Amino acid sequence: DVKVTQSSRYLVKRTGEKVFLECVQDMDHENMFWYRQDPGLGLRLIYFSYDVKMKEKGDIPEGYSVSREKKERFSLILESASTNQTSMYLCASEPGQASNQPQHFGDGTRLSIL
Amino acid sequence: KQEVTQIPAALSVPEGENLVLNCSFTDSAIYNLQWFRQDPGKGLTSLLLIQSSQREQTSGRLNASLDKSSGRSTLYIAASQPGDSATYLCAVGAPSGNTGKLIFGQGTTLQVKP
């Protein structure tokens, strides 16, 4: 079974801090994704990556950056955390578009910015 | 811009009932359509993936259909059980370079009463 592991289930940070959310997958997947999920807004794509050191902006990239130095790890960075970034963050991976396989999700990180 | 809508937002049924969840999308140029389940406070679990060339997929008590021309998909759950209680999300895969970006509906929250 594919395992997507997010480093923290719950995280509390202060406004202005630099925050790192880590995600690791163990199935050698090419593509990785970061979403945030908010009540009434659903899941929205922040950034995705289709290869090591490659990244593309999703629908709401403002205030975020990402890093993919190794194939199995995809990090989401909040450069200067703000209260409107309080949310549930979900990481996902998939083998690659040509495989037509489903995305596999981690359990999520519930982030609170005070 | 692709938009995905799920109706109803919430559904409550007695155990044993057969039920249908609906998903509609505005742009028929899709790569695939995926159905997910989300339990409270957890990540998403893939249920079914229908490729754009397919009409339906089945897994156990679940059957998902796809009609691209009308922009609709349905998830049929047979003989519902209390353990089926969860939020069900549909997502449309839209080709984007090397990855299949997913655009999610807001979900249908299902409660199956014993």
Residue written as tokens 């389940």? B37
Q: What count of Cα atoms within 13 Å lies in the side-chain half-sphere of residue B42?
A: 12
Radius of gyration of chain A (CA): 13
In eight-state DSSP terms, residue A99 is: G
| Tokens read off for B12 | 């409550």
Whether B75 contacts B87, CB under 8 Å: no
One digit per residue, pLDDT tens: chain A, 114 residues? 769 999 999 999 999 999 999 999 999 999 999 999 999 889 999 999 988 988 999 999 999 999 999 999 999 999 999 999 999 999 999 987 666 788 999 999 999 999
The length of chain B, given as a count of residues? 114
Spatial separation of the C-alpha atoms in residues A67 and A75, rounded to whole Å: 5
State the pLDDT at residue A96.
76
Kindly identify which residue of chain A lies nearest to residue B52, measuring between CA atoms: A100
State the pLDDT at residue B41.
87
Q: What angle do CA B95, A22, B94 make, to 5 degrees?
A: 10
Look at residues A52, A96, A55 and name the one whose alpha carbon lies nearest to residue A77. Answer: A55
The distance of B97 to chain A (nearest Cα, Å) reads 9
Contact A107 B42 (CB under 8 A): yes
Whether chain A has a CB inside 8 Å of the CB on B114: the answer is no
Out of B27-31, B71-75, B80-84, B105-109, least confident range: B27-31
Kindly identify which residue of chain A lies nearest to residue B38, measuring between CA atoms: A107
State the pLDDT at residue A80.
97
Of the spans A45-59, A86-100, B53-67, B92-106, which averages the highest pLDDT? Answer: B53-67
Residue written as tokens 């140029």? B29
